[in-house]
Amino acid sequence: MDQLRASGLVTDYRVLDAMAEVPRSEFVPPAHRGAAYDDVALPIGHDQTISQPLVVALMTQALELQPTDRVLEVGTGSGYQAAVLRQLADHVDTVERIPALAEQAAEMLEELGVDRVSVHTGDGTLGWPDEAPYDAVVVTAGGPEVPPPLLAQLADGGRLVAPVGPRHAQELVRVRRHGDRTVSEDLGPVAFVPLLGEAGWPAA
């Protein structure tokens, strides 16, 4: 995690500590474990990736998590970011559209003893309304807009962080809810795999 500290971009020591606690190597396929702690995205199968550590840290920092927060993650992937989020929040619901990835992530989280993370299979662009509202929502794939169902599941005072824009280049956006009003701010350019689903990009 030295590269995260050296970047000067991750200023929340709690996020740095959380990243240090979660072994990224356990969430990376064996063929790529030699690069597990490099600051790069790595393939995890099914045309998906595990995001580079700096991006995970910046998105987590932008959520401004508190120990009592309930978090919704859209796009479980390997389960790595869910494990990081759980270090900082009370409970994480994470939704993955690819059943095989959801199963692998759930198994790894259980193996590592990460509790209070519920892995669901489904269309993450629709959120997980059964457990809403959420204090924080994070989307780990890029969509053409912030999915309206996710905004609807955001609690008053809640924060949502998502990549928004064209398929191959997005802007990281943070949205805060203040009653019936939302306020958005841009946090910088990013590039994520497409957010597929009813409120995202159509699946090919």
Report, as an integer, the average pLDDT of 194-204: 91
Amino acid letter, 195: L
pLDDT tens-digit series, residues 132-159? 999 999 999 999 999 999 999 999 999 9
CATH number of 2-190: 3.40.50.150
- CA distances (Å), 36 to each of 61, 111, 166, 201, in order? 21, 18, 28, 29
Query: pLDDT-based confidence at 57, cuts 50/70/90?
Result: very high
Tell me 13's DSSP state.
H
Domain extents in the chain: 2-190
52 CA to centre of own chain: 12
The predicted model scores a pTM of: 0.95
Could you confirm whether 7 is annotated as catalytic? no
pLDDT tens-digit series, residues 170-181? 999 999 999 999
Which one of the listed residues 51, 78, 118, 184 is annotated catalytic? 51
pLDDT tens-digit series, residues 64-99? 999 999 999 999 999 999 999 999 999 999 999 999
